[in-house]
Amino acid sequence: MNRIVNEEIEPKDDTQADDQKHNVSAPENAKVVPIKEPWNDPDGEWNDAFVYGDPCAEFDRLMTQTVSLTLGMQFVDKYRHGRDGTSKGKWKRTTAHWWTFAEGVPREGNIPEWGLTRSPVGKEKDGMCYVGGICDGGFRTTDAMSTMGFMGLDFDAYITLDELGKRVYGLGVAAFMNTTFNHGKTTVDIPVGDVLKASADGTKSIEAVRVYLDCEGWGEDFVDAVEIEDDNFVAEGKRVVRCSCPPITKARVIVPLAEPIDLTQLSQDPKAGAEMFSARVRGLAQMVGLPHDERCEDSARMFFIGKHSKGAEFDVSVFRAPPIRWEDIPEVEKPGKRGANGDRTIPKNVTVEIDGVTVNVTDQYYRYGKRWNLSDIIPEEMLHGDADGGRVMECAWQGNHSDTEKMGGTIVYDADGSNTGFAKIDCKHSCGNKHTVYHLAELLERGLIDPADLEEAAYMVPLADGQDETFCRPTPEEMMEAASASADSNVENDDLEARCGAFNKDSKAAEIERLLKDLFDKGVDVTDRARVNDILSEKTRLGKRDLNKMWQALDRVQKKIDKDAAKMSDDGSQIVFIDSDVDKQWEYAQARLDAANVADPFLFEYMGELSRVRRIKGKLRTEALDEKHFRHHLNTHAPFYKRQGEDGKVKVMAPKDVAEHLFTRDHDHYPPLSRVTSLPFFTANGELVATDGYHRQSEVYLDMGGLELPPVPYEPTEGQVYDAKKLLITEFADFPLGGKTRAEILKAIEGADIPDIANLMALIIQPFVREMYDKTPAAVVNKPMPGTGAGLLTDCVHLIVDGTKATATPMPKNKDEMPKTLLSVLRSSGTYIFWDNINHEMESAELAAAITGNPYNARLLGVSATLDIYVRAGMIFGANTLRMSDELRRRCYLIGLDAKCERPEDRGGWHRDDIEQWVTDHRAEYVHAVLVLVNNWLAKGGTDFTDTKIASFEGWSKVLGGILRDAGINGFLGNRDQLYEEVSDEKTGEIYRLVAVMAAQARKDKNYDFRVGKQKKGSRFLGILDLLNTRVDDEITLDDWNPKRLITSELEYNDTGTAGKRFKDAARNPYTVTFAEVDDERVEWEVTGVVTFKAEKYRGDLYYELLFEEKQRVPVPVENEHDRRTR
C-alpha cells in the first residue's frame, strides 16, 4: 500500500498557497470534472488513492448522498507570513455529495489542492482543514456541534502502514485513509513527568520509558527497540525525554456515517451529547484495535488536509464497503477513571488475541468491574487460602518476584467482599504498579482463565432489578433473558405481516425503531418478536443482531419505568394506598406522571402556565390547565387504591391534597414549549422536522393533523425549484399585489422584481424557518378601499400554514386595552396574529415592544407582576389606507393591494372559482413547494441575504431574503419607500414635507449641510428652524417640536433642544419626496428622489449632511408665460 513520490514528476508545492489568505472554495462550486463514478475506476485508482474492496452498491449510494461538513483554515503559527485562519463565528458548513469531498480540487491560484483522495506536497502540515459536521452559529466548539457526518481517527501506530490498512479493510465499512504530514517519524517524545511516574526508582531510565509506552498500548517489538536520545529535550516549550524508535506509522482514517447523527437530539445537555459521540469514537478505535489520538474524540476536532513533504513516503486509500451505522459502533467508557487500584487510572485499550478473537479487557472491566467474583474465575490451583477479606493467589508474574516460591504477597478480592466495591488483584511485589486489568490480560494470554468466564453471570454479583450502569452492566445472556420476558402478544398476525412487509433495503433504522416501539407497546410476545426479526432481516439492511439490540433497549426503558414506579409502592406491587405516607403519595404520583410525560409529552410549561396542546375547531392551540383538568391527567396515569377488607383493595381518585400539591409546584418542572405548529419545520441548524410530537431541541410541538407529503428532495434541481415557486406565485396572482395585473405578477416566476409578491412569499415561508432567526417584523396588507381582498389573501396564507382560516382580532382603540389584548392573543399560540379592519391611526408603544421585544415584558392581569414572553407568532395588519406611527412603521414590511377600480369586490376574472377550497384541497402541494425552496437555499450553502434589511430584524431579513434570492424570486423589501409614503401618520406626513423643503433648498443653494437651530452668521450650515419659520403661507405643523402660536396666528419654532431630539429620530429613516425645481432656463420640473441623512460633528456641534438620489424628473406643463409666472 505504500508509495514513493516519483522524483521525475514533482508534484506541485502548495505551500505558497497556504502562506496567503485563502478563499476556501465550496466543493459544489469546485472546478472538478469527474469521470463517471471515479471510485469504480477499472484501474483501482482515484487521484492519489488506491481503491480497495469489490464494487459495492451501498458505497455507490454513499458517494451520491449529500452531507454537511465544515471547511476552514487553521495555522499553528497564524501570524507567520501574515497568515490568519478562520475566525470565531465564521466556520460555515458546506453541503455537497460525499464524492465531491472525496474528489476535492486540484491546486488553482490561491485555492490549495485538497480532497480525501489527494495528498499534495507541502512544507508544513497546517493550512486548510475540515470538521466532521456542522458548527452551529459558525463557532468551532464542542457545545456548538450538531449534525456529524463522519468520525475521524488519528493513529501514531507501531505497526506498518500495510498492517493498519488491513485492519481498516477488515472492518468491512466505507473509509478513507491517508498518511499525515509526519508519517515515518523516528523519534518519540514523552513528558518528563510521565516518565518519572512510571519509574520504580524515580529516575529517567529506559525501563521507565518502556513501562510508560507499554501502558500506552505500544507493541512489544516497538517498545523493546526504543532508546533514549536526550532525557532533557525541549519540544514546543515542554520538557520531554526524546527517544529514538522504529519509523512510526502516522495515518488518519475517515469513516463516513450511513446516516448523519444530530448530537443535539441525543441529549438536551450538549456536553452529554458530545460525550456520547466521543464514546462511539473510542468504540470505533477499539474495532480497529489500536491506540488513537484522544483529541479525535472531540466532535469539534479539525483535521488538516492530507499532505506530505517532497520525496516522502505517503499513502492514500479508499475502502469500498457499506457505510457504518451509528448503532453498530460500540460505546466505550472514557479511560482514566479511578478504579479498583486506588489512585491509579484504568489502562486504556488493553487487548488480548485468543484463537483469532480480540478480547478488550479494558472494556470488560468497565462492564463488570463491580460484579466479578474473581475467586470463582481464577483456577482453584492458583488460590492459597484466605487473607484480609480476600484470597491469596499465585501472581501472574510470580516468576519475576524475588522469592518465586513464597506466596502471600498477592491477594484477589471479589466485588462483593471488596472495601472499594471493585473486583481487584493487589500485588505487594514489584508488579504492584500493575492494574487489575493487566493481571487479567496476562491470565488470559497464558490460557489460565477462559474469556467466556468473564461474561458468566454465575461468577458475578447479581444485578438489582433494572440495574445497568458503568462497572455493573448485564451480560449478553441476561439481556436475552430480559428480552424474552414479555407478555402475551396483542398483535394480529395479518397486521404484523403487513406492517413489517412495508419496509425495504432503503428503510431507515429510525423508522424501524418506531415500528418496534409500537409493537412493544401493544405487548408483542417472544414468538412474534422472532417473526418480526425474520421478516425485517430479510426485507431491510438490519440483521437479527441489530433488531435484538433494539428490542433490548425497549426492555431496558420499560424496566426503568417499572422500577421508578415500584420504588413508591408499599409492597412492591406498584400500588399506592391513600393511607400511605403523604410524601410517598406525591412522589409516586409525580413519578408516574413524569414517566408518562417523558414517553409522549402532553404537559408543558408555556408562557408561565402549565399547559396542554389541543385542536380547537381545527386550530392547533395551547391551553392553560386548571386544577380540574390536571386531576384528570393525574388520575389517568397515577392510580391510587383504598384498602377494602383484610386483603382487598379498590381503585380510587388521587387524593385532593396530592393533586393540589403537584399542581401548584413550579411549572418549569415540565418541558418548555415555545410554539405549536401544523407544519413541518426546520431547526436552527437546518434540519427538517416532519414527525408529529414534541421536539426537545426546538421546544416545538408538531401535529400535522394527518397531512401527507410527497418526498422532499434534499438537494432540489433547478426544475423542482422552478415548479415550486410557480405553484405558489400562480395561486396568488389574482390578487392585485402592488397594483399589478395577473399577467404582470406571473412575470415574477421568471425573475421580475415585484416587491409585494416577494414579501408575500416571505410571509408564507417564515413559519417553516421560525427557529432560524430571532424576531419577526409585522406584515402590512394595505389597500385603498374595502373589498380589495386583504382578508381573503390572509385566509389563503393561513390555510397553507395552519389548515384553517385566519382568526381576525380587532385592534383596541384604547391604549389601556392593548396590553390585555396582546397577552391574550400571544398566549393563544397561533402562527399569525391577524389585526383586521383597522379603522384608526395606530400608535402603540406596547404593540411596538411586542413586535421587537424578544422577550416582550407583558403585564399580567389582576396581579402586580410581569411575564417575559418570547414572541413566536407573526403579526399581520390589514386596513384601508392604514396610518401608523413611525415607531410601528419601522417594524413592518408592505404587501400592497390595489385593484385600481371603484368597486373592487365586483372584480371578475379569478383563476379559481373558490380559491379557499382549492388551497384547502391542495395544501400538501403548497407545503411541499415551500420545503423545496428552503432545502434549495440550504443545499446552496444557506448564505445570508445582504442587499436590504429591516433594522432590528436582520436575522429575518437574511434568512427569508436568502431563500427568495436562491429561488429567483426578486424584489424582497423593495417597497420600503412606498411603505413610508402609504402608512405614515399625520405627524410623519409633516416630516416628509419638511424633508422635501430641505431637499429643494439644498439643491437650490448647492449646500447640503444642515443644523437643527437657526443659521449662524458666517456659517455654511443651513438652519432647519429657519426653514420652518419662513413658511407662513404653507406652514408645517410639528406639534411635538414645541412650537408657539403667535398673536398673528403664525407658528414659531424656537425650542432647539426639543427639535434636536425629534429630528435626530427622524433622520434615521429614508424619505422619498417630490418637490418643484426651476432650472437655469426657467423651466419648472417636478423632481422625485430619496433623501437620507448622515449625522456628523463639527466643533462639537451636531449637523446633518443631506444625501439626495434623484429617481425621476418630469417637466411641469404650462399653457403660457402668464401661467408660468403665476405658478
Across residues 674-683, what is the average pLDDT?
93
Average pLDDT of the residues of the chain: 83
Q: Are the CB atoms for 423 and 436 separated by under 8 Å?
A: yes
- pLDDT confidence of 400, banded at 50, 70, 90? low
- pLDDT confidence of 777, banded at 50, 70, 90? very high
Say if residue 1126's pLDDT is above 70.
Answer: no
Name the grid cell of 555: 426492555
Q: What percent of the chain has pLDDT over 90?
A: 31
Is the bond preceding residue 1117 a cis peptide, omega within 30 degrees?
no
SS3 content of the chain, % helix, strand, coil (to 5): 35, 25, 40
Express each pLDDT in 969-1009 by its tens digit: 999 999 988 887 777 655 667 888 899 999 999 999 999 99
Torsion of CA 846, 850, 852, 854, to 10 degrees: 130
Across residues 380-401, what is the average pLDDT?
78
Helix (H) or strand (E) holding 69: strand 66-74
- pLDDT confidence of 1107, banded at 50, 70, 90? very high
Which has more confidence, 763 or 548?
763
Helix (H) or strand (E) holding 959: helix 954-967
Express each pLDDT in 116-148 by its tens digit: 999 998 877 778 888 999 998 888 899 899 999
- pLDDT confidence of 33, banded at 50, 70, 90? very low
- pLDDT confidence of 36, banded at 50, 70, 90? low
Say if residue 407's pLDDT is above 80.
Answer: no
Say if residue 110's pLDDT is above 70.
Answer: no
Q: Are the CB atoms for 312 and 46 separated by under 8 Å?
A: no
Give Cα separations from 836 to 512, 788, 978 (angstroms).
47, 13, 21
Express each pLDDT in 729-757 by its tens digit: 999 999 999 999 999 999 999 999 999 99
195 vs 203: CA distance, rounded Å = 8
937 vs 943: CA distance, rounded Å = 8
Which has more confidence, 510 or 245?
245
Q: What is the structure's pLDDT at 741?
A: 92
β-sheet with 145-157: strand ranges across: 45-46, 49-52, 316-319, 175-179, 249-262, 145-157, 133-135
3-state secondary structure labels for all residues of 121-162: ECCCCCEEEEECEEEHHHCCCCCCEEEEEEEEEEEEECCCHH
The set of residues, in sequence order, having a beta carbon less than 8 Å from that of 1074 and lying 6+ positions away, is: 996, 1086, 1087, 1088
What's the pTM value of the predicted model, to 2 decimals? 0.47
Q: What is the structure's pLDDT at 429?
A: 61
User: How far from chain centre, in Å, is Cα 224?
Assistant: 48
pLDDT winner (highest mean) among 475-489, 603-617, 901-915:
603-617
Say if residue 654's pLDDT is above 50.
Answer: yes
Express each pLDDT in 506-527 by its tens digit: 787 777 888 888 888 777 877 7
- pLDDT confidence of 570, banded at 50, 70, 90? very low
1107 vs 1093: CA distance, rounded Å = 6
Pairing of strands 316-319, 49-52: parallel
The set of residues, in sequence order, having a beta carbon less than 8 Å from that of 545 and lying 6+ positions away, is: none
352 vs 441: CA distance, rounded Å = 6
Closest CA to 500 of 538, 553, 526: 538
Say if residue 487's pLDDT is above 60.
Answer: no
471 vs 466: CA distance, rounded Å = 14
Say if residue 410's pLDDT is above 70.
Answer: yes
> Which residues sit opposite 252 in a β-bridge?
154, 178
Pairing of strands 832-838, 808-809: parallel
Say if residue 863's pLDDT is above 80.
Answer: no
DSSP string, 746-771: HGGGGT---HHHHHHHHHHHGGGGGG
Q: Are the CB atoms for 578 and 585 separated by under 8 Å?
A: yes
Helix (H) or strand (E) holding 620: strand 619-624
Q: What percent of the chain has pLDDT over 70?
A: 87
Express each pLDDT in 158-217 by its tens digit: 788 888 999 999 899 999 999 998 888 899 999 998 888 877 677 899 988 988 887 776
Radius of gyration of the chain (CA): 37
Q: What is the structure's pLDDT at 39?
A: 92
Name the grid cell of 661: 400539591
Say if residue 230's pLDDT is above 80.
Answer: yes
- pLDDT confidence of 84, banded at 50, 70, 90? low
Q: What is the structure's pLDDT at 962?
A: 96
Say if residue 561's pLDDT is above 60.
Answer: no
Q: What is the structure's pLDDT at 493?
A: 62
Q: What is the structure's pLDDT at 603?
A: 94
Say if residue 151's pLDDT is above 90.
Answer: yes
- pLDDT confidence of 562, banded at 50, 70, 90? low
DSSP string, 1048-1106: TS-EE---HHHHHHHHHHHTTS-EEEEEEEE-TT--EEEEEEEEEEEEEEETTEEEEEE
Q: What is the structure's pLDDT at 20?
A: 36
| Coil vs helix vs strand at 59 | helix
Say if residue 837's pLDDT is above 60.
Answer: yes
Burial of 271 (0-12, 13-18, 19+ CB in 10 A): exposed
Helix (H) or strand (E) holding 867: strand 866-869
Name the grid cell of 632: 384528570
Domain boundaries defined on the chain:
49-184+247-328, 187-238, 351-459, 476-557, 582-671, 718-837+875-881+893-979, 985-1126
Q: What is the structure's pLDDT at 926?
A: 97
- pLDDT confidence of 919, banded at 50, 70, 90? very high
Say if residue 5's pLDDT is above 80.
Answer: no
Express each pLDDT in 713-734 by its tens digit: 989 999 999 999 999 999 999 9
Across residues 833-852, what is the average pLDDT?
83
Express each pLDDT in 1011-1057 by its tens digit: 998 888 878 899 999 889 887 567 888 888 888 888 776 888 989 98
| Coil vs helix vs strand at 681 | strand
Q: Are the CB atoms for 14 and 107 separated by under 8 Å?
A: yes
398 vs 396: CA distance, rounded Å = 6
Count other C-beta atoms under 10 Å from residue 313's C-beta.
15
Q: Are the CB atoms for 62 and 176 separated by under 8 Å?
A: no
Q: Are the CB atoms for 682 and 772 separated by under 8 Å?
A: yes
Give Cα separations from 401 to 172, 385, 396, 570, 918 (angstroms).
45, 19, 10, 57, 90
